[in-house]
Structures are given as structure tokens and as C-alpha cells.
Homo-oligomer: A and B are copies of this chain.
Amino acid sequence: MTLCLRTTRSLIASLAVLVLPTARAAQAQQPGIAAYRAAADSLIHAATADSSAYRRLGLMVDTFGHRLSGSASLEAAIDWILDSMKADGLENVRGQRVMVPRWVRGDESAELVKPRRAKLAMLGLGMSVGTPKAGITAPVLVVGSLDELKERASEAKGKIVLLDVPFTDYVATRKVRTDGPSAAARVGAVACLIRSVASNSIRSPHTGMTRYDSTAAKIPAAALSVEDAAMLHRFQDRGQPIVLTLRMGARTLPDAPSRNVVAEIVGREKPDEVVVVGGHIDSWDVGQGAMDDGGGAVGAWEAVRLMQRLNLRPRRTVRVVLWTNEENGGAGARAYADSQAALVGKHVLAIESDNGVFNPKGFVLASSDSTAAVVQQVAGLLQAINATGVQRVTESPAADITPLAEQGVPTMELDVDGSRYFWYHHSEGDMLDKLDPAEMARCVAAMAVMAYVVADLPEPLPHATN
């Protein structure tokens, strides 16, 4: 459905008298929110009329590839985005300088030595230390959980510990990746391997950040493919001694300069009040980082570009923020929140897309009840793309907006079909073809409508939780 913009804008103007101070008042506003339907439909139509978001994402990831913090490809991609945003006509386009960790993978390999020689599929974990040049050759102890590691602590000394823990959900299984290496070091292991945190595998290892506990020795840490972890576990179950050689050239260089990308449509009435919409521009150094989180970053940018193209300038400022260094540090998110410390009360809402721009279902929201009531009504405008769901959570739903949530800003993440996300996450398989142009277009539509309408409401969403 094509909508006349003039009609849309006059409908919006007629809403200027509405006030939404409390939950009760918000609930009473349904007819008011409904008056945004024309604007919402025009955004949905513009987003879904073609594959421009997907094409732009493809151009970015094909041109620059993956974008690890501290890499030349990340900074080149940021330069290109800044130039493109200016060409799009966005306002206050700028790079916000941030110092980021610079971890470098180097050459790496894992070779089975006993019971037979074979190359294993592995990826070092982000922020891991390396091995000596000759590698570490040691017997392997396989355990099925962090608890089993504690029970078998006396067997771990001098060994390479493999944590072969099946994927359940990300938050639970990620703990093995973040905490496993230091847990292994504390019981005397010389290196730590984990089963990749992944819900599918074609012998595809999945990297991700590990975190060394300051009380334990830093030992090299890597992910094996699900297949290789299972094979080693079977060797052990049969009583066959396992020996392997792990070689990792990983090292951490001095911090490097990077940038958050920031651009705006300045609010027509309350330019100092802000709705943030974004994703993160950095990725791991495998695949193309198309799903995590090229799609979220370009999708947020496209959402704001569409408003600009349709001359939809809301009452408040809509600010797209593409954070740097989400994957291995979070320096971009902290830098943005720190820079806004005095202005955080003016942040009406922060939206992130960081679950892949798969088919959108709605939003996951951390906010007060009164804010949720309004958001639910706004999401109702997304019926045409079936993305009206609003799921409430108590903690910030996405990493880059957590520092804002901690200061009371309502935060939300785009909620999408997550069935295939952990097939590709942090692996070489995270490339453009995993995303679908029409699904990505609907994600853009959902972010655009939510950001625009919340930015244009006569009264700001209430801050603080409940």
C-alpha cells in the first residue's frame, strides 16, 4: 500500500496535543497511536519495496570482509559508512573515537597425536594467549561440564582440558567459553579446549571471547568443532589415551583507535531528547560478520535513512549509533554511554538489533510498565509484517545498550526468529547468504516504525524501571 506523505504528516500533526504521562494514560491513548498508522505504513512500504538494505549490507561485507577491533578492515568499513551516511543526507554524522583492544589470532592449529595423527578443526578463543612456537603437546582430559572438571580436578595437572559441553542455550553454554579456561588453569591444566558453542555444525568451529580470571594463570584457549570434541570424548570413553599438539600464535597488541559511528535526524521540537537505534559494526575475524552484526548495524542505519528519505522528521532526535568493539571488550558501548552521562536522562529509548536480521517477531523490552504499555501500542502498528510481539525482560536485552540501561534508559532489542542464529554465530559461516533480503527489510521496517513513533510521541517514555 502506497501512502500519501502529506496525509501522513497532517495526521501526525493532529497528534501533537496528546499527552502520555502514566501507564493508565498510555493505555487510554490507543486511538492516538493508531493515528501513526499512515507514517508507519509508509515506512513499512518503503523498507519492504526493495532489497536496498540487503544490497548495502552485501556491498559492505563483500568489500571489507570481517571487522575485528583493531583491524584495518573495521576502520575502512567505518570510513565508508561515515561517507555514505553523509551522502544519504543524515545529520551530525561523526566518528566517536574509542580505544579498543587489539587481539590478533595469528597462525593456529590443533593436531591429534594419539591415538592417531589427524588435524582437528579449531578456532582460538578471542583474547586467548598464544602457545610457545613449538606448541603445547600434552595428554587430554575430557570433561562434560564445569562441575565434572571440579570433580576430576586431581586428573587435570599438566593436561589439555577439553570441556565437551553440549549446547543448551547461549547464556548457559557461553559460560563454558568465558569461564572454562581459568577454571582449567586453576586445576593445573596447560591449555583449555571447549566444544564450540553452536547448535549445528559441519565441522565448523565457533570462536568467541574468553575471560581470564586474575587469580589464575592465563593458558591458551580454543574451540574445537562439535565433531572433534565428540570424537575426543569417544576416545576417552573407550579408554584410549589422547595426546594433542595445540599451536596458537595469538597475542594482544597495544590498544588501537577505533570509532563509534553516530548520525542523526535532529528532532524538530525537542532535539535534545533522543531515541537511539543501532547495532555493532565490529565482528569476529571469521566469515563476514554479516549476521553478527553487519545486518543489525546496516539495518538500523537503513531505518534512519528511510525516515530521512520520506521526510519524516520526528519531534525528538533519532540517533543511529553503530558501536565498535562489542565482541571483545564493549569499549564502544561504554564510550558512548560515558559521553552521554550528563544527557542520559534525555535518552527516551535505546533499540539494538544484535540477533541477526532474521524474520522479525517484535521486540524484547526492559522498561517500566508504563513505557511497556506505550511500546506495545506502537508495536501494534507492525501488524502488516507480523512483528507486534513485545516480550518483557528485567535486564538489558543487548550488550551495547546495557550501559544505558544501567542508567535507567528503557532498552529494547529487535526480536527475531532465532532458530538458525547459533548455526553460524562466530564461525566462518557468518556470511551474507545466511540472511534473506525480505526478512532483513521487515527488520528495517520494525526498527524504523518503533524509533520514529517513540521519537515523535507528544510526551517522552518514562525513565527508570517500574
Contact = CB atoms under 8 A, between A and B. Distances in A.
A24 interface: no
Contacts of A108: none
A65 B429 contact: no
Contact of A59 (B59, B62, B238, B428): B238
A12 to B, nearest CB: 38
Given A204-B204, A427-B202, A432 B230 contact: yes
Interface in A209-258: 226-227, 230-231, 234-235, 238
A58 B232 CA distance: 11
A63 interface: yes
A6 interface: no
Contacts of A118: 65
Given A231-B62, A235-B62, A433-B226, A427 B203 contact: yes
| Copies of this protein chain in the complex | 2
A115 B76 CA distance: 14
B433 A202 contact: no
A334 to B, nearest CB: 31
A121 interface: yes
Interface in A91-136: 115-116, 118, 121
Given A202-B202, A203-B204, A227 B429 contact: yes
Interface string A48-65: 000000000011001111
Interface in A416-448: 423-424, 427-429, 431-433
A117 B65 CA distance: 10
Interface string A306-343: 00000000000000000000000000000000000000
A200 interface: yes
Residue of A64, A65, A431 with most partner-chain B CB within 10 A: A431
A41 to B, nearest CB: 31
A279 interface: no
Contacts of A64: 116
Given A231-B432, A234-B432, A116 B203 contact: no
Interface string A144-157: 00000000000000
A202 B423 contact: yes
Given A202-B201, A429-B203, A431-B203, A58 B234 contact: yes
A433 B59 contact: no
A180 interface: no
A69 B433 CA distance: 35
Contacts of A433: 226-227, 230
Nearest to A112: B65
A200 B433 CA distance: 11
Contacts of A231: 62, 288, 431-432
B63 A203 contact: no
A287 interface: yes
Nearest to A205: B202
A201 B428 CA distance: 10
Residue of A59, A62, A202, A235 with most partner-chain B CB within 10 A: A202
A379 to B, nearest CB: 33
Nearest to A290: B227
Residue of A63, A118, A203 with most partner-chain B CB within 10 A: A203
Nearest to A203: B428
Contacts of A427: 202-203
Nearest to A230: B433
Interface in A382-441: 423-424, 427-429, 431-433
11 contacts: A62-B231, A62-B235, A62-B238, A65-B116, A200-B202, A202-B204, A202-B428, A203-B204, A226-B433, A227-B431, A227-B432
Given A202-B204, A226-B433, 7 more contacts: A65-B118, A202-B424, A203-B427, A204-B429, A227-B431, A227-B432, A230-B432
